Structure 1
């Protein structure tokens, strides 16, 4: 995936997860860290959180 495609997918998925009240902050943090380890751009993480 190109960087911009990856950012779009990341943004969309985070958006969905933020609206899902069943996702705890711990789970969301775990998921964010997983994405960071998959080379998701750090500035995306900063922008969203």
Structure 2
């Protein structure tokens, strides 16, 4: 409800580029990185839906 008024913390990972840095980590680790942040987050579904 607060997002309508500009509250963005619920989408913070997207705003700071977590998906990009996860892709970089996967590329460097040959697709085997175990330290990515977005995949297991509560925001993963929101991120995928917006950029599918």
TM range (shorter): 0.3 to 0.5
- Structure with bigger RCO (C-alpha 8 Å, 6+ apart): 1
Q: TM-score, normalised by structure 1?
A: 0.40
Based on CA coordinates, which of the two structures has the bigger radius of gyration? 2
Greater fraction of residues in helix = 1
